[in-house]
Amino acid sequence: MIHSLTLSDVLADHARSRPQVTAVVDGDVRLTYPELDARVTRLADALAGRGVAAGDRVMWLGQNSYAVLELLLACSRLGAVLCPANWRQSRDELRFVLSDLAPRVVVWEPSDQAAELADEATWVRAGGAYEELVAGGSPREFPQVDDAEPVLALYTAAFAGRPCAALLSSAALVAHSATLLVVRQMEPGFTFLNDGPLFHVGTMMFCLATLQIGGTNVFTPAFDAEEVCRLVDAERVTQAFLFGPMIDAVAAANAGGKYDLSSLRFVAHSAEWDDMITVDDSPWCRSKMGGYGQTEVGGMLTFLGLAEGGAGFAGRPSPLVQVRILDPEGVEVPAGEVGEICARGKTLFSGYFARPDLNEVKSRYGWHHTGDLGRREPDGTITFIGPRLRMIKSGAENVYPAEVERALKTHPAVADAAVIGVPDPSWHQAVKAVVVLRPDAAASAEDLVAHVRGELAAYKRPREVVFADAIPKQGFTPDYDALDAAYGGGNYPGA
Amino acid sequence: MIHSLTLSDVLADHARSRPQVTAVVDGDVRLTYPELDARVTRLADALAGRGVAAGDRVMWLGQNSYAVLELLLACSRLGAVLCPANWRQSRDELRFVLSDLAPRVVVWEPSDQAAELADEATWVRAGGAYEELVAGGSPREFPQVDDAEPVLALYTAAFAGRPCAALLSSAALVAHSATLLVVRQMEPGFTFLNDGPLFHVGTMMFCLATLQIGGTNVFTPAFDAEEVCRLVDAERVTQAFLFGPMIDAVAAANAGGKYDLSSLRFVAHSAEWDDMITVDDSPWCRSKMGGYGQTEVGGMLTFLGLAEGGAGFAGRPSPLVQVRILDPEGVEVPAGEVGEICARGKTLFSGYFARPDLNEVKSRYGWHHTGDLGRREPDGTITFIGPRLRMIKSGAENVYPAEVERALKTHPAVADAAVIGVPDPSWHQAVKAVVVLRPDAAASAEDLVAHVRGELAAYKRPREVVFADAIPKQGFTPDYDALDAAYGGGNYPGA
């Protein structure tokens, strides 16, 4: 256990190494690291008093709050798991999550959806009741916890119609924080404004990296452009959770220069924005932000900042993982070919809570299967193609609809496209494309097939193209079941 | 094993992600990552053919070479351990190390010391015979290796008169590299000149961090100021292993501006030097370089760059460790008090090879005991006091000679000082100081005792002060056995 470093351990060290540093700001709440450490100890003791033991789950059901970080750290101290649940969920979705995760304690901000699900015995109201809970705990020592144990549960991708809780260990979260420290070049003094939802890994990962480097986490319930401006100015914030339209909104809210946003070291965006902030030159900010990621890898798997000028628009793997592009039999595909993005390494999750069969499938051949398709470019960088929702088997060949759809969409006349497999007497399945043309644009089926042949191997070209007014969707992706029903799809491998 | 990331895995990923990047430069040898990966596979196969199995040791006995990195990576691929041995050792020292480590294969550059120890059956000459070894191996797959297994052995601190091999796992080395990537803000394209000895963690740690970020390692047999200039210019080196007098020598060798050293991003040193290079503003270079470290923690435990303006001159802990200042009973001492610097975390070693008793002592109470004394300052930063070679027990109190010696040396009249414990009927032991005054300086015993009382708790003050012409030394530290014999020391706790 001499190698173990839990989130609780990180906090315990900061309490000693950074006694004067502000760890947390949230409205009137301001806590130094020793104060946060002392509160987390009391909270852990109080949770233990409510029956929370190692391996048990605790749920936060509310908007962003310092309490999310305290609960996470207290769970780490106990070897328990915190789930910050999506407070925007419907009552039905929430009922599922509660029965799935079976939390021992729920700390909640009252809401219409949650009200009738609340159980007086195990639910604690955020605010006063939560503060009473903390105050009721006693300072004491806790046994050491193995950092390979899960500490955070985040609900993610729906498999079989319902979301699953991805379990992340302290070891994975600490490792992921280290990669952000590297790529974002975070230093002591880093101040992060948690204005995106903490039930999502995109905000949580920067909250935890800020903890790791001993910086300051500022919390605000949810994104509000004016409030972001006020907090950046007041707390000298280094970075907030912002992208595209959020940046525009913040720039607009500060149009008169009412607030001083110069402490913000962030990506260039518009002339107006760049004048307000300090354009940062770390790899994370220097070119385009981001890369490819998902909750199951702790956040980011690849970074654009590690592949400046690279061909692949997902960048290169983080320094603490390996990535392989594998075919369905677990064999690496050559550069230039599409396969599933698979990974191993320090930042990976510990499987989904209570999904042994799914976990076995997702980790087959000793690699985490992201469920997404990608390709190595000749320079070794990675391109993300799209989700591996379906695979078509035509002859002996595997054809991923997402790859063919991508090729179709590069044709100037194509507004949208979806690809299915239809039964074929000779080839088992044949590729069929459903295409929506742009208004006033024209292209024949032959034009589109020829276009795909110019982009992909011949066997991937559609044998048939039909035109439609729209593609049925599930969220952002085609609704393949509806497409199969409408256009004669079937004979899928394994079906 | 989905979380495992060995050095071999890091290489395997770079071979895919960075196919065009130069991994290694050494004289005429230039290898891209795929070329290095292919050679390492063949070398691993060839070593296996010579009987090297998981857990076995391989030794490099020579100056710096690309072969050190290749052997380390091949050992990682096999689950074996590489020891780059100190080629400057005497024949007697080398004989001990060989019998202690019992390497299955030794790759060596012929030397007078090693010549009569060489065993034709297991020793391979660097150069031609080594290249034949590599060429004789075959490409193949290797089973996955757990990154918690040791991969590097570095001989370090002599306990009981003989050095011990500190074993470092891939997990520890990868974690340590991540901390250097953070503090040194290393980016892709980083080029490190290995001009310090690779048998020492100070050079090895930057070699491995450069590997981790997919940079270029340039090797030169040993430090030569002119050759450093030439290589920095020719290879656009970002950083070399340089400090104080080495920097002066390089600046002097380039006095006429013969070489372009502007690619070097390094610490400011002198007006002349700063003009030749690019002064770097990463935390590692911005203030004073370094911190506190030892081989047993993978290199650096604390960094000055994480504590700019801090009171303690060892800085703050690395982001991947915890540090505690403990008393001999394993209890944390309050800030301001001296105790032993102890640590846990991701970068820590896996114990000494074949030293179970010592390992138990060094990891007592679940913390790695560095053997060094330190103190928390009020701002949480750490001051390194000196090695914990002896402890005096006076009454119920622990007195560390290094702490009293440090206090004595802050008196302007004191040139050197050593402190021993002498038997005392009332207090078990009493503190006795042996002091060397500066030429032409004067101070009485009473002056010095009063001075120490102003610096430390009363019980730590010497009961007796004697003056001497010199302090007997073992290396840089007082020879306490000789001092005890000469000045009546004894009754040490545990003796």
Residue with tokens 């480097």: A213
Neighbours of A35 (CB within 10 A): 16
- The span from the CA of B258 to the CA of B233, in Å, is 10
**Test mutation, B8, B13, B265, B296, chain A, max A CBs within 10 A:** B13
Are A305 and A283 in contact by the 8 Å Cβ rule? The answer is yes
The whole-angstrom distance between B213's CA and the closest CA on chain A is 6
B320 in reach of chain A (CB within 8 A): yes
CATH superfamily of B397-487: ANL, C-terminal domain (3.30.300.30)
- How close A390 gets to chain B, by Cα (Å)? 25
**In terms of C-beta density within 10 A (0-12 exposed, 13-18 middle, 19 or more buried), how is residue B311 classed?**
middle
- Residues 6+ away with beta carbon under 8 Å from A230: A259
Interchain pair B379, A345: CB under 8 A: no
* Interacting residues of A491 by C-beta distance below 8 A, sequence separation 6+: A393, A421, A422, A423, A424, A428, A429
| CA atoms lying within 13 Å on the CB side of residue A241 | 24
A174–B367 CB contact, under 8 Å: no
The whole-number pLDDT of residue A359 equals 96
Strand pairing category for B29-32 and B22-26: antiparallel
- Report the distance separating Cα B426 and Cα B489, nearest Å: 16
pLDDT digits (tens, 9 = 90+) for B204-220: 999 999 999 999 999 99
Q: Per the CB < 8 Å rule, is B13 touching A181?
A: no
Rounded to the nearest 5 degrees, what angle is found at the Cα of B54, between the Cα atoms of B53 and B55? 110
Q: What is the pLDDT of residues B256-290, one digit of tens each?
A: 999 999 999 999 999 999 999 999 999 999 878 88
pLDDT of residue A488: 95
Picking from A177, A332, A346, A377 by the largest number of B CB atoms within 10 A of its own CB, the best residue to mutate is: A346
Contact B9 A346 (CB under 8 A): no
Give CATH 2.30.38.10 domain extents, chain A: 291-387
Interface test with B, best of A1, A4, A5, A365 (most B CBs within 10 A): A5
Of A258, A206, A227, A263, the residue nearest A27 (C-alpha): A227
Q: Indicate the residue of A2, A214, A322 with minimum beta-carbon distance to B9.
A: A322
C-alpha to C-alpha distance for B466 and B445, rounded to whole angstroms: 7
The angle, 0 to 180 degrees and rounded to 10, between the axes of the packed helices B7-17 and B33-49 is: 140
pLDDT digits (tens, 9 = 90+) for B434-474: 999 999 999 999 999 999 998 888 889 999 999 999 999 88
Q: Nearest Cα to B50, choosing from B102, B104, B12, B103?
A: B104
CA-based nearest distance A276→chain B, Å: 24
Interface of B with A in 349-388 (CB under 8 A): 363, 366-368, 376, 378-382
Nearest 5°: CA angle at A383, between A378 and A384? Answer: 160
Helix runs in B375-479, H state only: 401-409, 445-455
Q: What SS3 state is found at A391?
A: coil
Quote the minimal CA–CA distance from A22 to chain B in Å.
13
Of B322, B335, B366, the CB nearest to A13: B322
The alpha carbon of residue B152 is apart from the nearest alpha carbon of chain A, in Å, by: 17
DSSP string covering A131-170 = HHHHHH----------TTSEEEEEEEEEETTEEEEEEEEH
Put simply, the answer to whether B3 touches A148 (Cβ < 8 Å) is yes
Neighbours of A54 (CB within 10 A): 14
Identify all chain B residues contacting A321, using CB atoms and an 8 Å cutoff. 5, 13
Residues of B in contact with A376 (CB under 8 A): 16
pLDDT at B494: 67
Tens digits of per-residue pLDDT, B297-348? 999 999 999 999 999 989 999 999 999 999 999 999 999 999 999 999 999 9
Task: Please answer yes or no on whether A17 and B212 come within 8 Å at the CB atom.
Answer: no
C-alpha B263/C-alpha B233 separation (Å) is 8
Both tokens of A14, joined, read: 């900061």
Return the number of other C-beta atoms located less than 10 Å from residue B163's C-beta.
18
Q: Under 8 Å CB-to-CB from B162, ≥6 apart: which residues?
A: B96, B100
Q: Report, as ranges of residue numbers, the positions in chain A whose pLDDT lies below 50.
A: none
Whether residues B17 and A320 touch (CB distance < 8 A) is answered with no
Structure tokens that stand for B371 in this block: 């053997």
Give mean pLDDT, residues B220-243.
Answer: 97
Contact: A188, B323; criterion CB under 8 Å: no
- pLDDT at residue B495, as a whole number: 62
Please report the residues numbered 167 through 186 in chain B whose beta carbons come closer than 8 angstroms to any beta carbon of chain A.
171-172, 174-175, 177-179, 181-182, 185-186
Q: How large a percentage of chain B has pLDDT more than 90?
A: 85
Q: Name the residue among A229, A233, A207 with its Cα closest to residue A218.
A: A207
> Pick from B187, B283, B346: which is nearest to A187 by CB?
B283
Nearest-Cα distance to chain A for B116, in Å, is 41
Looking at the predicted complex, does its ipTM rise above 0.85?
yes
Q: Do A319 and B185 touch (CB under 8 A)?
A: no
Runs of H (alpha helix) within A153-310: 170-184, 201-212, 225-235, 244-253, 271-276, 283-286
Cβ distance B5 to A321 under 8 Å? yes
Query: β-strand B81-85 against B57-61: which pairing, if any?
Result: parallel
> For A2, which of B177, B368, B381 is closest by C-beta distance?
B368
Angle at B298 between CA B312 and CA B245, to 5 degrees: 65
Transcribe A443-471 into DSSP letters.
Answer: --HHHHHHHHHHHS-GGGS-SEEEE-S--
User: How many contacts does A have with B, using Cβ atoms within 8 A?
Assistant: 149
Across the interface, of B2, B172, B213, the residue whose CB is closest to A363 is: B2
**Segment B15-66, tens digit of pLDDT:** 999 999 999 999 999 999 999 999 999 999 999 999 999 999 999 999 999 9
Q: Is B9 on the interface with A (CB under 8 A)?
A: yes
CATH number of A396-487: 3.30.300.30
Per-residue pLDDT, B429: 94
* A36 touching B (Cβ < 8 Å): no
Residue A412 belongs to what H/E stretch?
A: none
In this structure, which CATH number among 3.40.50.1220, 3.40.50.12780, 3.40.470.10, 3.90.79.10 belongs to the domain B7-222?
3.40.50.12780
What is the nearest CA distance from B459 to chain A, expressed in angstroms? 26
Work out the percent of chain B whose per-residue pLDDT is above 70. 99
Dihedral sign (CA B108, B114, B115, B118): negative
- pLDDT confidence tier of residue B160, bands split at 50, 70 and 90: low
Task: Give residue-wise pLDDT tens across range B129-159.
Answer: 999 999 999 999 999 999 999 999 999 976 6
Distance from CA of A423 to the nearest CA of B (A): 37
Burial class of residue A86 (count of CB atoms within 10 Å of its CB; 0-12, 13-18, 19+): middle
Q: Which fold has domain B291-387?
A: Luciferase; domain 3 (2.30.38)
Within 8 A of A320 by CB-CB distance, chain B residues are 5, 174, 178
Least CB–CB distance from B16: residue in A17, A20, A376: A376
Residues of chain B found within 8 Å of residue A1, distances taken between Cβ atoms:
344, 366
